[in-house]
Structure 1
């Protein structure tokens, strides 16, 4: 029987004494039966002829490119989208015996999940909610890949390609939005300018009114003072006249 396919290739030969490198796990079969625990890093002993190394799994983080594929959004826009998967083998036994080809299985699962998640979102939300979309894909992959002994650490969408006509429509929408903002800013500037002019005219009228009022007050005060001086002079003249008559 052929050994299961795995994320790493190349099997060491049993020479009785083997050193397992760091961040690797080696699965050994004894007379066709898998041993309970895979060999971990360091010195390990095997029985020649009876023991056979059936798989070597890397425990490091693994990067897998997810090929470009088509997906249809909620508003029926067909996109071309690709991504990158970051995986780690958590259970070497499950990764080797639980699935025929772990890399292929996880890649297919990522593509299926991506299509499913994109079908729930409109085109605008796909671009706005890219981070949450990545997180949703990671959660869905981990729910399905647990029995394979593989954990998806993160998923990143690389490129999103929209059809040319949709792209032109998006550019026109962006340009229209830009013109709208420019018009709003211009109208706000005109409004602010008109308010400033009106405020200036109001202040000018207030100042003119206050100046006129002050002028009238000053004029009235001047007239009152003049009348008072005139009355005093008249009173003094009468007093002088009365004194002169009294002396005669």
Structure 2
């Protein structure tokens, strides 16, 4: 049960009237037989309200008694002591009635005379005074401590700045080291990634090549089967008729070859006979020419000088013809003379004869054979006779 214990205008030990309100929690104790019997004796036949009223009045009386034994300051300042006193006194009295006080708490304290307010004001002024004194002392101490703190702060700041700079230096060094390691690891990771990517691409290419190989093998197999099919088709549609045609052509070719062979054998026999006849004719001609050469050689041996002279004289017209050949191609010849020499055809013929007379010397120079000496150093015929012979021969050869 919860009881609201009110004690209005109770005089304290100092004679100051105050009002107090407390809250108590009580219950009828049924765990112990003696207390239960005591409660039955006290409250048998009473209602719950009546039981609460008995407990409330008992607590209120003890609360008043404690208030009268204490000063306002004690009650106000030491509420725990007040609560403890009321709880102990009320519990010892109510327990005899079979009721147990579970808890008691001072809820409110006030007065109608303004004592508590004055007490609060005095205390407030005292507190304010102490506060101002404390504030002044605190300000003084604060300024002193602030100066000391500032000094310590600056010293600490310098030390701290030094430590910060040192820490910054260490941080930068470590950061550079870490960055190098990170970059190295990153480069290794990138290289590893590139390597793995290259391996993957290579593997994909190998798989693709393997697929192409399999596809190519299938295509080759299909092509081979198609070739076999076409071969069988060709054998059925072309080869067998072609074999028949081939056999026919072979027989025709064999007949033509036999015919040509017989004709060639006949032609060869004819040529052989003709060749033998021609060989006999050539042999007879050669024998006749040989006899002629033998006779000619014998004649030359017998008539050596006369023969050589004859050959020499027969060759001169040919030489003259070759010398005069350019003149035969000329359409018009204009000759200039000083008046003391020959003019006309005789002049032209004389110049040709001068060239011919140099032939023996030219032959000797080119071949080393002295024609004049070979003729036995015979005195040549007079120039007039010689020229007449050459001119007559040249006319006969139709040079002029």
- Give the TM-score, by structure 2 length: 0.31
Higher relative contact order (CA 8 A, sep 6+): 1
Q: Highest Rg: 1 or 2?
A: 2
The structure with the greater share of residues assigned to helix is 2
The structure with the greater share of residues assigned to strand is 1
